[in-house]
Amino acid sequence: MKRLLVTGASGFMGSRVVDFYGGKYEIWAPGHGELDITKESQVLKKLQHWRPDYVVHCAAISDIGQCEREPERSWAINVEGAVNMAKAAGEVGAKCLLCSSDQVYAGSSVKGPHQEREKVCPGNLYGREKLAAEERCMEVNPDSVSLRLSWMYDSRTLQQGEHSDFLRTLLAKLKTQETLRYSPNDIRGITDVNQVAENLEAAFTLEGGVYNFGAPGSKSMYHMVYSFFERFGWDKQRLEKDQESYGEKPRDLTMSQAKLNGGGIYFADTQERLEAVLTDLSW
* Tens-digit pLDDT profile for residues 87-142: 999 999 999 999 999 999 998 888 999 999 999 989 899 999 999 999 999 999 99
Q: Does domain 3-153+191-215+254-268 have CATH number 1.20.1530.20?
A: no
Whether residue 109 contacts residue 70, with contact meaning beta carbons closer than 8 Å, is answered with: no
How many other β-carbons are positioned within 10 Å of the β-carbon of residue 40? Answer: 16
Domain ranges of the chain: 3-153+191-215+254-268
The whole-angstrom separation of Cα 60 and Cα 32 is: 11
Looking at residue 198, its pLDDT comes to: 98
* Tens-digit pLDDT profile for residues 209-236: 999 999 999 999 999 999 999 999 999 9
Strand partners, 182: 241
What is the residue-averaged pLDDT of the chain? 96
Q: Which DSSP category does 79 fall into? A: I
Say which amino acid occupies 202. A
Looking at residue 110, its pLDDT comes to: 86
Looking at residue 109, its pLDDT comes to: 83
Strand partners, 180: 239
The whole-angstrom separation of Cα 203 and Cα 26 is: 18
Judged by phi (left if over 0) then psi (alpha if -120 to 50, else beta), residue 233 lies in left
In this prediction, residue 50 has a pLDDT band, given cuts at 50, 70 and 90, of very high
Q: At what angle do helices 125-140 and 81-92 cross, to 10 degrees?
A: 20
Looking at residue 60, its pLDDT comes to: 97
Looking at residue 112, its pLDDT comes to: 93
Q: Is the pLDDT of residue 159 over 70?
A: yes
Considering the chain, what percentage of its residues have pLDDT values greater than 90? Answer: 93
* Tens-digit pLDDT profile for residues 247-266: 999 999 999 999 999 999 99
Looking at residue 283, its pLDDT comes to: 55
* Tens-digit pLDDT profile for residues 16-48: 999 999 999 999 999 999 999 999 999 999 999
Considering the chain, what percentage of its residues have pLDDT values greater than 70? Answer: 99
Average pLDDT estimate for 200-212: 98
Q: What is the dihedral of CA 16, 17, 22, 27, to 10 degrees?
A: -130
Whether residue 207 contacts residue 260, with contact meaning beta carbons closer than 8 Å, is answered with: no
